[in-house]
Amino acid sequence: MKIFRIVMAVLISFTLLIGIFDTGMGIWAHYELKNSIHSETPWLIETQILEPDSIVHDHSVILVHGFAGSPFDFKQLAGEIRDKGFRVVVPMMPGQGRTISAYQRGNYDPEFYVAWLKDIVRKETESTGNKPYLVGFSMGGTISTIIASEDLVARLVLLSPFFSLPKSNSLIRISSRIVSNVVPITPKRGRGRINEPEGYRDYTPGSFIISFAAFEQLQRLAVMAGKQVEQIDIPVMIAASSGDVTASFEQTFHLFEPKPNVTFMKYDRSNHILLYDYDKEIVTSKILEFLLSENE
């Protein structure tokens, strides 16, 4: 009987703690969603379209942000590309930022995201008469890989693309599925994976909440994208950090290194969010050089 009472006490305590945690997360999710409409930073909640003073290049550039991110991921880079004479489109990815309840973010499957980006690419192609250039960061890089494999864009840039976690990917994926049945959402660990203190301070994520269901959809998307890499024949530039703790550098290198059309650049000082980390200037410079090289 004593053991039974102890077990029951532990179960009741655990249930209460989970209930308190879920209630707290529910309040947080509601607060984040409610306050998104009052955001003073449109880059966190809305698609951004930057038109140059004069269009010099006949390809537009589409920048696709990451998981739980927003167009803010590309705020500095977008301006740099626009200043070179490109039309720049930075779409707000459905189901990722603070403009949707964290509990609904797992409702968007991989097929939805592929169709969503295809539609944007199609509109830009019709607008300019040329296939656009595509730049994808993290999850945006995953989706962009699939689009590029279907010969819908002229050039592809991948920044810290997500094809798997660096460690224990399968175990974490299984664990997240189990946990999601009890705890559907959880706080994000800080602003993001950035080593440089100044960059960390300047960066703001699309959301401070992670949905386990949305993470499972990202994993499915990564598997789909990995299978499509061999079909990419256009010029590709990849910038990734060997110390990335979010997206596996080794997996990305394994997938793309054998391809002759790929320029692979490794950065050792930075973490996942390259455009806000120690190597942001050189990464930005290399991206501009790559995008401009076809137009020279």
pLDDT value, residue 296: 47
pLDDT value, residue 68: 94
Q: Which domains does the chain have, with CATH numbers?
A: 2-293 (3.40.50.1820)
C-alpha radius of gyration, the chain, whole number: 20
Whether 249 contacts 242, CB under 8 Å: yes
pLDDT value, residue 50: 96
3-state secondary structure 65-130: CCCCCCHHHHHHHHHHHHHCCCCEEECCCCCCCCCCCHHHHHHCCHHHHHHHHHHHHHHHHHHHCC
pLDDT value, residue 57: 86
Give φ, ψ of 237 to 5 degrees.
-120, 130
Q: Could you report the per-residue pLDDT of 264-283, keeping only the tens digit for each? A: 999 999 999 999 999 999 99
Name the average pLDDT for the chain.
Answer: 91
Check whether 30 has a pLDDT greater than 90. no
pLDDT value, residue 241: 97
pLDDT value, residue 190: 82
Segment 77-81 shows an average pLDDT of 97
* Confidence band for 5, pLDDT divided at 50, 70 and 90: low
Segment 77-88 shows an average pLDDT of 96
pLDDT value, residue 1: 63
* Confidence band for 183, pLDDT divided at 50, 70 and 90: confident
How many other CB atoms are there within 10 angstroms of residue 182's CB atom? 12
pLDDT value, residue 15: 62
Check whether 237 has a pLDDT greater than 90. yes
Q: Could you report the per-residue pLDDT of 190-204, keeping only the tens digit for each? A: 889 999 999 999 999
Residue carrying structure tokens 């806000």: 276
Segment 59-66 shows an average pLDDT of 97
CA 183 vs CA 29, 109, 136, 170, 186: distances in Å: 13, 20, 30, 19, 7
pLDDT value, residue 11: 65
Check whether 7 has a pLDDT greater than 60. no
Check whether 28 has a pLDDT greater than 70. no
**Which residues sit opposite 241 in a β-bridge?**
267
Percent of the chain with pLDDT over 90: 71
* Confidence band for 20, pLDDT divided at 50, 70 and 90: confident
DSSP 181: T
Segment 221-237 shows an average pLDDT of 97
Segment 125-148 shows an average pLDDT of 97
pLDDT value, residue 83: 95
- Indicate the range of 3-17, 20-34, 57-71, 223-237 predicted with least confidence: 3-17
Whether 188 contacts 262, CB under 8 Å: no
Residue carrying structure tokens 């595509």: 134
